[in-house]
Chain A
Amino acid sequence: MNARLIRFAGLSLLLLALPAMAKEPPKKAEPIAQEGIQVPKPPFTEGIFPCTGCHDGKSMKVNTTRRALVDMHGDIELKHGPESRWCLDCHDANSRDNLHLASGEKVDFTASYKLCGQCHGDKFRDWREGIHGKRTGSWNGQKQYLLCVNCHNPHSPRFAALKPMPPPARPEAIQTRTGGAR
């Protein structure tokens, strides 16, 4: 549908504008273009972005050897796809503040869904339509999107288990209140 195309165009426009407002909380992001679909910033660990803060290409040489990381990022456990996959398959070795697609095309962190969409095409399509993932806002107007990485840790993408909220009271436990208001 045309409306979907327009919406998608709006989304792309917005994503281009995102880095500028990366520090604002997601819900306050300004509506952009006609459809105004908004994507919040990716959930970076505090103080880690931009990556070029460390990976500036000068103090540290790029090491393209596949290896277990020991000095830094030891907390990252990669549980995403084949064993052979590693950091630089997605992170761009030469431009650390970017990711890259299989084609080598660089992608902003704010457009990481393109990277995810390379393999997860069906999810990507559903996400664009608002079916995969969460949408909030207005069913007949502005909607807020979340990026894939807002719900799935890209290094370990399985949706994290949650503590359930309390179960309902059993019928036997529903009793006349003693005391209290009315």
Chain B
Amino acid sequence: MFNFRNFKQFIIDTIGLMLTGSRIYYAWVGFLLLLIVIGTGAYIGQLNDGLIVTKMRDQVSWGFYIGNFTFLVGVAAAAIMLVIPAYIYDWEPIKEITILGEMLAISALIMCLGFVMVDIGRPDRFWHIMPLVGRLNWPQSMLAWDVIVLNLYLVLNYFVVTYLLFCAYTERHYVKKIVTPLVLLSIPMAVSIHTVTAYLYNGLGARPFWNSAILAPRFLASAFCSGPAILLILLQVLQKTTKLKIKDEAIFKIAELMAYTMGFNLFLTAAESFKELYSGTEHVVYFQYLLFGLKGHNTLVPYAWASIIFGFVAFILFLVPKFRTNWKLLNLGCVLIYASVYIEKGMGLIIPGLTPDALGEIYVYTPSFTEIAVAAGIFAIGFLVFTLMLKAAVPMMLGEFTMSRGRKKATEPEVEPS
């Protein structure tokens, strides 16, 4: 049963696990901390001078921060979608990794909230957006919806991860009646966070590039490509560095599922492009700016085509069984699809949505040093959170570290799997 003293011990041991590790571990954490320090420094500069230190201006009022936010919402949503086959089809090989997916979702969400926080002009007024305390314009504002669903999703995942690990730690089997409904709930929640984030853009009649009915489906389709890609790489890293064993079968199955979503994603992109380019209404300018350049401004063009080509190559790599069962090609495909979606759902979504601006002006936006440094800091925070969680979670999941055995081990010299 739940016992406060046990939980306190769990926390202490978790922190203990996070604080001890190999040199490589320390070096990695140190590197992330360094990035965080750099990012914090840049952010303090931004607080002092205002968002003028970014390259965002009235014409392009959202940029790199919101682009990363959007992409990471996709990662957070997709991470949990691996739960679907695991629980609906009761497919054991993937079940083991759902907790990894949940931890990835938590890290991605923390980065999301971080990107929103650094993007707002008055972070001191954060409480205005807190339900009950502030004045949330709900249900009118999609941003208000987003605040609610992102935080609920964060709490939900955090609870499930903590609960599962605590159970492993105290060497008890988790109560299925608690976990299964919550995990099942997280599936529609995952869909909803990404849908709401898509609606955030989708609902703006002022921005024809975003004002498309298939924006939310495109968001989901692309998220189901990029999120699992991260997990596939991660699983291989864990297999090499820890005693965690993940069946190849599971990885190939995920790759197969990804191939379908990638195909679907390409199809949706093609559908959208066809509609805009063939009908050639006045709304075509945004697609032109993205794909071909407009009035001599073609900063986005190489990125846009890189995204399309990467996406297509990755699709082929994942589609053909011979390719996707080849580790090198599989990993190449993961990197390609990750890059493809990062461009498409980041800058490739935000910038052409705002360029040309509402009055037809073209302002060529590229992130400033501050924006890149702050973003690096936030990514470092996300990776750090993920690293620390993994560091504590993996031994607990493997049953190597429990309340009883862990205490004994604490006096012995540390044995790090890597």
Contact surface of A with B, Cβ cutoff 8 Å: 171-172, 174-176
Judging by beta carbons under 8 Å apart, are A171 and B53 in contact?
Answer: no
A176 to B50, CA, bound (A): 9
Judging by beta carbons under 8 Å apart, are A176 and B49 in contact?
Answer: yes
Residues of B within 8 A of A175 (CB): 52
Judging by beta carbons under 8 Å apart, are A174 and B52 in contact?
Answer: yes
What is the predominant secondary structure among interface residues of chain B facing chain A? Answer: loop
Judging by beta carbons under 8 Å apart, are B59 and A171 in contact?
Answer: yes
Q: In chain B, residues 225-248, which have Cβ atoms closer than 8 Å to a Cβ of chain A?
A: none
Chain A minimum-CB-distance residue to B60: A171
Q: How far is the CB of A177 from chain B (nearest CB, A)?
A: 9
Q: How far is the CB of B177 from chain A (nearest CB, A)?
A: 57
Does chain A have a CB within 8 A of B57? yes
Q: How far is the CB of B363 from chain A (nearest CB, A)?
A: 5
What is the predominant secondary structure among interface residues of chain A facing chain B? Answer: loop
Residues of B within 8 A of A171 (CB): 57-60, 363
Jot down 13 A-B pairs with beta carbons below 8 A, ordered by A: A171-B57, A171-B58, A171-B59, A171-B60, A171-B363, A172-B363, A174-B52, A174-B57, A175-B52, A176-B49, A176-B50, A176-B52, A176-B53
Which of A171, A174, A175, A176 lies at the interface centre, i.e. has the most chain B CB atoms within 10 A of its CB?
A: A171
A171 to B63, CA, bound (A): 14
Q: How far is the CB of A170 from chain B (nearest CB, A)?
A: 8
Q: How far is the CB of B360 from chain A (nearest CB, A)?
A: 14
Chain B minimum-CB-distance residue to A169: B57
A172 to B49, CA, bound (A): 17
Q: How far is the CB of B49 from chain A (nearest CB, A)?
A: 5
A172 to B55, CA, bound (A): 8
A174 to B53, CA, bound (A): 10
Residues of B within 8 A of A174 (CB): 52, 57
Residues of A within 8 A of B59 (CB): 171
A171 to B53, CA, bound (A): 12
A172 to B60, CA, bound (A): 11
